[in-house]
Amino acid sequence: AQKVTQAQTEISVVEKEDVTLDCVYETRDTTYYLFWYKQPPSGELVFLIRRNSFDEQNEISGRYSWNFQKSTSSFNFTITASQVVDSAVYFCALIPGGGADGLTFGKGTHLIIQP
Amino acid sequence: GAGVSQSPRYKVAKRGQDVALRCDPISGHVSLFWYQQALGQGPEFLTYFQNEAQLDKSGLPSDRFFAERPEGSVSTLKIQRTQQEDSAVYLCASTDYPRDEQFFGPGTRLTVL
């Protein structure tokens, strides 16, 4: 069984601040995939990134960056120079490399960017 | 192209009624997933189809929940004798390959009174 923990229930920052959302996972699989999704107030889940367990290279996409560390089973997400439009609930998720499981999601972090 | 669509978007049912929720995946997507999202929680896996075959239904909470995808495209999630604890948003997702990005629909918000 897999488990994803997002310990930060809610984070509130002022616009232009940097913010990091934490994600810690547990799995017995050697091959797995990690994801981040954004859920804005409209409710639809929006894909942000997918990373496989063999690729620990960090990734940057514009103001977004991800830090994957297998040694600590963490896959943290940083938003640089946050904007009001970044306000949403962010979910970290995991799926094993084989089998017929679906995604295992964390409980989500509600990010509030104040103007 | 069109994304994943779900209908109805909102459903209110009286306790004990049966409901049917529809999912139209992205055309050609082999894999289809159903998730249940309770208020303030992350989505929880219910069941997975590869084409018309239901490969995993381990997440269905009770035998009142039933899902089908008879022709390998549209899927229906049916809940019999609804209970208040069934109130949630039901999300459908599809993808080409089950380990790739899943594309989510807008969800159906079910409220059981």
Residues 69-98 of A with CB under 8 A from B: 91, 93, 95, 97
CB contact under 8 A, A102 and B104: no
**Whole-number Cα distances in Å, B92 to A52, A67, A111, B103:** 23, 29, 24, 8
In chain A, where does DSSP find H-type helix?
none
A100 pLDDT higher than 80: no
A74 pLDDT higher than 90: yes
Joined together, the tokens standing for residue A93 give 């998720």
B89 pLDDT higher than 60: yes
Pairing verdict, β A10-14 and A109-114? parallel
A98 pLDDT higher than 90: no
Within 10 A of B51 (CB to CB), how many other CB atoms are there? 14
Q: Which residue has the tokens 């082999």?
A: B30
A104 CB near a chain B CB, below 8 Å? yes
**Whole-number Cα distances in Å, A90 to A6, A23, A63, A107, B94:** 9, 10, 15, 9, 20
Strand segments (E) across A1-115: 3-5, 10-14, 19-21, 24-26, 32-39, 46-52, 59-61, 64-69, 74-79, 88-96, 104-105, 109-114
Contact criterion met (CB below 8 Å) for B58 and B6: no
CB contact under 8 A, B99 and A100: no
Q: Tell me the three state secondary structure of residue A32.
A: strand
Residue range B15-33: mean pLDDT, rounded: 97
| Model pLDDT, residue B1 | 56
